[in-house]
């Protein structure tokens, strides 16, 4: 009897370890998707980020989907809020962001959990500084070469392109711009109903060309057959002054101000529509222009989110990654 019991236990142990090994094999074939967002400290920005996460999870229900914030400053602020009881009582939904990490740490956590195929999809608008740095991080990780191939940390670690595309051989960024323009139909219709020009405030960039905003403005005007769409930026060209001058020359008397940003955060609520005299709203109003503020980020627009979903599919197909 004891001998029989011993045999049974041995068989169970063998099956247990075999099952464990099989599970590990399955784990190594799973795909994780990292949504790399600049981030926001503004409480109302939750709605944009959480909607992107929701839509991507809906599109890829069998894959792991996590967020990372590319901004060091924003992550630092969130980590400090762990100890702010008043803030947490006021915004209980903020708990999801208290431990948010950067792309490097997020990728490392996933790799440690057994994910060896990881897609990093930026929610950035265009190929600027933040996207450049993100690509640099991923390139650094992909430069790791272990002596034995089986110990390589990743099977595939790839980066999707931003909303307005990038200069890569397979995808013409002009086509990405056309798709993005069509995603903003509701904004154009809203401004039309208000008999107002549509003025977008983009973030822009100090170190990279922001000419893509001018191209995007041109495409929006072409698609919607109007010259009453303007795009300006917080940093770079076209500036607020450039945008205001162009609107004045066009005889604009009423505008809808809207952020051309994924999240309607600090820039949208303060720089764009704040009460300070140097806000976009105040500046337009001083010239006699009526202003309607539409403080909703692109992350609330499912047509825009679908751009990121398609870019995830594209980079997966290009790299032989099967998404379930």
Residues annotated as catalytic are: 203
203 assigned binding-site residue: yes
Residue 201 backbone class (left: φ over 0; alpha: ψ -120 to 50; beta: rest):
beta
DSSP labels for 252-300? --EEEEEE-SSS-SHIIIIIIT-SSTTSHHHHHHHTT-EEEE----GGG
Burial class (CB in 10 A: 0-12, 13-18, 19+), 212: buried
Q: Cα separation of 232 and 211, whole Å?
A: 11
Is the Cβ–Cβ distance between 8 and 223 less than 8 Å? no
CB 260 within 8 A of CB 125: yes
- List Cβ neighbours of 51 (8 Å cut-off, separation of 6 or more): 299, 300, 302, 305
Q: Is 83 annotated as a binding residue?
A: no
- Check the annotation: does 235 bind a ligand: yes
- Evaluate the CA torsion angle 230, 233, 234, 240 in order and state its sign: negative
CA distance 295 to 304: 16
Q: Residue 1 CA to chain centroid, in angstroms?
A: 63
Binding residues: 203, 235, 267
Q: Which residues are annotated as part of the binding site for Co(2+)?
A: 203, 235, 267
């Amino acid at each position: 009897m004891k001998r029989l019991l011993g045999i049974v236990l041995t068989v169970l142990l063998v099956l247990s370890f075999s099952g464990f090994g099989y599970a590990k094999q399955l784990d190594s074939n799973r795909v994780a998707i990292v949504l790399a967002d600049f981030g926001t400290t503004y409480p109302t920005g939750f709605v944009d980020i959480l909607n992107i996460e929701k839509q991507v999870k809906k599109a890829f229900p069998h894959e792991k989907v996590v967020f990372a914030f590319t901004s060091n400053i924003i992550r630092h602020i969130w980590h400090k809020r762990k100890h702010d009881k008043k803030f947490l009582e006021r915004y209980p939904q903020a708990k999801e962001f208290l431990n948010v990490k950067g792309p490097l740490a997020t990728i490392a956590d996933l790799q440690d959990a057994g994910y060896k195929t990881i897609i990093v999809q930026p929610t950035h608008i265009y190929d600027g500084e933040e996207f450049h740095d993100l690509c640099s991080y991923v390139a650094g990780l992909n430069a790791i070469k272990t002596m034995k191939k089986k110990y390589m940390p990743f099977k595939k670690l790839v980066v999707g392109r931003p909303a307005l595309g990038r200069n890569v051989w397979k995808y013409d960024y002009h086509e990405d711009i056309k798709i993005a323009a069509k995603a903003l139909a509701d904004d154009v219709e809203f401004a039309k109903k208000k008999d107002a020009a549509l003025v977008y405030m983009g973030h822009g960039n100090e170190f990279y060309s922001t000419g893509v905003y001018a191209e995007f403005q041109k495409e929006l005007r072409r698609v919607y057959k109007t010259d009453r769409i303007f795009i300006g930026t917080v940093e770079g060209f076209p500036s607020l002054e450039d945008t205001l001058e162009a609107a004045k020359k066009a005889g604009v008397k009423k505008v809808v101000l809207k952020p051309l940003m994924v999240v309607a955060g600090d820039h949208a609520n303060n720089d764009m529509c704040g009460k300070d005299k140097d806000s976009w709203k105040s500046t337009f109003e001083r010239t006699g222009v009526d202003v309607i503020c539409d403080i909703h980020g692109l992350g609330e627009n499912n047509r825009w989110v679908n751009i990121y979903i398609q870019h995830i599919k594209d980079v997966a197909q290009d790299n032989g990654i099967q998404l379930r």
